[in-house]
Copies of this chain bind each other. A is one copy, B any other.
C-alpha cells in the first residue's frame, strides 16, 4: 500500500461529490464516510475543507496547464512567424481539455468544477486559480490575439468567455441535456459528437462581425491595448 492511499481515496471521492452537489452542499462527513476514511483524516492531510477543494482542482489543473504549455510550445515551433491560425489554437485547447480527464474520472467533473469556480461569487477559489494557473491562459489569449488582429481586445476577451460559457455549460450539464435530447430526438450523444458540433459554432462566433459602436453615453474612448 502506498504511503497514502487515504489521501487519494479522499480526493477521488471529494471530486465526484463536489461535482454532483457543489462545495457547500458536500460535507466532510459525506466525503469521509463514502471514502471509508476517518473524518479527521481530511483535516490531518489537507488542513481544512478549503484546502481540500484546492487540492481537488490542482489534480486537474496541474496536468492540464503542463500539457497545454507543451502543446503551445509545439504549435509555436511549427509556426515560425508566431501567428498560429485560430482553428489550430482552438483545436489544441479542445484536445488538451479532453486529454486530461480521460486519465482521471470524468470530463463532467472537470467542467463542473470550473463552472462552480467561476460562478462562486466570493471568489477565493477563483483568485487561487488565477494566481496559480493564470499564466497559461494569458499565454493562450496572447496567441489568440495574434490570430485575430482585427478584434478589439475587449471584444476578444468577451468572445472567449462567451465560448467558455458554452463549453462549460454544455459539458457540465451534459447529463441533463442528454436527457432532454434523448427524449426529443431519440439520439445518443457522445462527447466526441458534441465537440464535432461545437467546432464550427465556436469558430463562427469568434469570427462574427463586430457589434455597432455605441455613440451616446459619456465619451467612451477606451483605447484597448
- Name A residues whose Cβ lies closer than 8 Å to a Cβ of B: 20-22, 24-25, 112, 115, 118-123, 126, 130, 153-155, 157-159, 161-170, 172-173, 175-177, 179-181, 184-187, 193-194, 196-205, 207-212, 214, 222, 224
Contacts and interface: CB of A to CB of B under 8 A. Distances in A.
Given A119-B176, A121-B20, A153 B185 contact: yes
Contact of A158 (B176, B194, B208): B194
B169 A164 contact: yes
Given A22-B24, A198-B162, A208-B201, A224 B173 contact: no
Given A153-B184, A193-B214, A204-B205, 14 more contacts: A20-B121, A22-B120, A154-B185, A157-B185, A158-B181, A161-B177, A162-B201, A165-B170, A168-B169, A196-B211, A200-B208, A201-B208, A202-B205, A205-B205
B179 A199 contact: no
Contacts of A173: 118-119, 165
A163 B161 contact: no
A172 B210 CA distance: 23
27 contacts: A21-B121, A21-B122, A22-B121, A24-B25, A115-B119, A118-B176, A119-B169, A121-B176, A130-B180, A155-B197, A158-B181, A158-B197, A162-B170, A162-B198, A162-B201, A163-B166, A165-B167, A165-B169, A165-B170, A165-B173, A196-B212, A196-B214, A200-B208, A200-B209, A201-B208, A202-B205, A205-B208
Contact of A177 (B118, B168, B193, B200): B118
A148 B166 CA distance: 20
Oligomer copy total: 2
Contacts of A205: 201-202, 204-205, 208
Contacts of A180: 130, 157
A163 to B, nearest CB: 7
Contacts of A212: 196
Contacts of A199: 211
